[in-house]
């Protein structure tokens, strides 16, 4: 695929936090990312995942891009592990590809953007996740446009029965008795 052959279709961007999830969407041409909403993380019932799945259907999304928070050195820590687990659970719920995209500094850029727009304190907290989702989605759109390649890495769904669609507060799939997760490490 060359840059002139960028895939058409809406993409959703997801910024996963331990308390909130930011959601953004692109236009059908894949040029511009805009905020959609901030969802409360719901590790028990998965209502946040269900809401994203609804947006996929409503917008006829081409794919979902989930931010992967790596350190500046490129290493992955607990937040990246939680984002991977969340993306895998989402992949189980949607009929479109889910991809992980590097989101280094997206939250920092979101805070900076909100401050420069005059949004302060508590008001920032309510929308920073949406803005971070916009930042990561726009970066992914720009990458695809400049390289002609789909951004990030594909996410396979978790093996059937692995988590039952549930995650703990950190976004990790709940394991059956904990033995599954320990055996994989």
In which band, very low, low, confident or very high, does the pLDDT at 99 lie, cut at 50, 70 and 90? Answer: very high
Distance CA 49, CA 39 (A): 9
Distance CA 121, CA 42 (A): 24
What pLDDT does 119 receive?
58
Q: What angle, 0 to 180 degrees and rounded to 10, lies between the N-to-C axes of helices 121-147 and 106-116?
A: 120
Average pLDDT over the chain reads 80
Position 131 pLDDT exceeds 50: yes
Comparing C-alpha atoms, which of 80, 53, 78 is closest to residue 64?
53
User: Do 12 and 56 form a contact (C-beta atoms < 8 A)?
Assistant: yes
Report, as an integer, the average pLDDT of 151-177. Answer: 56
User: Do 89 and 167 form a contact (C-beta atoms < 8 A)?
Assistant: yes
Q: In Å, what is the CA distance from 122 to each residue of 15, 60, 102, 111, 131? A: 19, 33, 27, 12, 15
In which band, very low, low, confident or very high, does the pLDDT at 108 lie, cut at 50, 70 and 90? Answer: low
User: Do 41 and 17 form a contact (C-beta atoms < 8 A)?
Assistant: yes
**Residue spans of beta strands (DSSP E) within the chain:** 11-16, 20-26, 33-40, 63-68, 98-102, 153-154
What pLDDT does 114 receive?
54
Six token digits for residue 146: 């400049």
What pLDDT does 165 receive?
44
Question: What b/e readout covers 86-118, taking b as 16+ CB neighbours within 10 angstroms?
Answer: bbbbbbbbbebbbbbbbbbbbbebbbebbeeee
């Amino acid at each position: 695929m060359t840059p002139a052959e960028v895939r058409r279709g809406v993409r959703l961007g997801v910024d996963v936090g331990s308390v909130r999830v930011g959601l953004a969407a692109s236009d059908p041409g894949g040029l511009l990312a805009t905020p959609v909403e901030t969802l409360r993380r719901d590790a028990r019932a998965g209502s946040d995942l269900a809401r994203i799945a609804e947006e996929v259907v409503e917008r006829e999304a081409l794919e979902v891009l989930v931010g992967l928070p790596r350190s500046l050195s490129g290493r992955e820590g607990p937040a990246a592990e939680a984002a991977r687990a969340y993306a895998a659970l989402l992949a189980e719920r949607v009929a479109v590809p889910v991809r992980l995209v590097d989101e280094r500094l997206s939250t920092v850029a979101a805070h900076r953007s909100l401050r420069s727009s005059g949004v302060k304190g508590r008001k920032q907290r309510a929308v920073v996740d949406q803005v971070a989702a916009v930042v990561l989605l726009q970066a992914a759109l720009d990458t695809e446009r400049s390289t002609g390649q789909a951004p990030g890495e594909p996410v396979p769904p978790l093996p059937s029965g692995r988590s039952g669609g549930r995650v703990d507060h950190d976004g990790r799939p709940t394991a059956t008795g904990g033995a599954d997760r320990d055996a994989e490490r």
